[in-house]
């Protein structure tokens, strides 16, 4: 598998783990000192990322699916940057709705033969209700 394909798979694994609230799995996709920067706060290190994810977990909210699109990856040796868009679909009483969307800005590193997030910044541009 090419490095770009491995990075695309990393992005997908992140969404699967996040949507299922498997935060240990999600944090394992980051370096030991990784940073997860969200609109709700920042988690640093795997334990910090898990704690931050739990603090904003959707829990009892409707089932949701994050989709990642428009992925652009630039690789230099064992480091890379990636930028992509995301859309969040959620169930509502009348069916699925797009509840928010934005962009991911990633700094990645290849450690032990696998790509990991060193820093993931999440910008939210759109939200249900236009707020």
| Residue in this structure with the two tokens 């009348």, named with its chain if needed | 94
- The pLDDT assigned to 74 comes to 99
What token pair was written down for 111?
Answer: 């450690």
What pairs with residue 42 in β-bridges? 37
The number of distinct structural domains making up the chain is: 1
Tell whether the torsion through CA atoms of 44, 49, 54 and 57 is positive or negative.
positive
Distance in Å from the first CA to the final CA of the chain = 41
- Domain span holding position 33: 3-130
As a whole number of angstroms, the distance between CA 74 and CA 128 comes to 32
Of the candidates 97, 29, 103, 37, which has an alpha carbon nearest to the alpha carbon of residue 69? Answer: 103
Q: What is the pLDDT along the chain (131 residues), one digit of tens a residue?
A: 899 999 999 999 999 999 999 999 999 999 999 999 998 899 999 999 999 999 887 655 667 899 999 999 999 999 999 999 999 988 877 778 888 899 999 999 999 999 999 999 999 987 665 55
What pairs with residue 120 in β-bridges? 36, 106
Tell whether the torsion through CA atoms of 20, 17, 82 and 104 is positive or negative.
positive
As a whole number of angstroms, the distance between CA 80 and CA 100 comes to 26
| Residue in this structure with the two tokens 């990633």, named with its chain if needed | 106
The total number of residues shown for the chain amounts to 131
- CATH number assigned to the domain comprising residue 31: 3.10.450.50
- The pLDDT assigned to 91 comes to 80
- The pLDDT assigned to 57 comes to 74
């Amino acid at each position: 598998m090419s490095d770009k394909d491995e990075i695309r798979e990393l992005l997908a694994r992140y969404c699967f783990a996040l949507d299922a609230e498997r935060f240990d799995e999600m944090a394992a996709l980051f370096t030991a000192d990784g940073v997860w920067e969200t609109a709700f706060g920042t988690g640093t290190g795997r334990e910090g990322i898990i704690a931050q994810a739990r603090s904003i977990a959707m829990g009892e909210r409707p089932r949701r699916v994050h989709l990642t699109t428009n992925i652009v990856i630039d690789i230099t040796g064992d480091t890379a940057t990636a930028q992509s868009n995301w859309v969040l679909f959620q169930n509502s009483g009348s069916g699925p709705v797009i509840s928010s969307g934005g962009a991911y800005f990633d700094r990645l590193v290849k450690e032990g033969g696998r790509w990991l997030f060193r820093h993931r910044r999440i910008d939210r541009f759109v939200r249900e209700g236009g707020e």
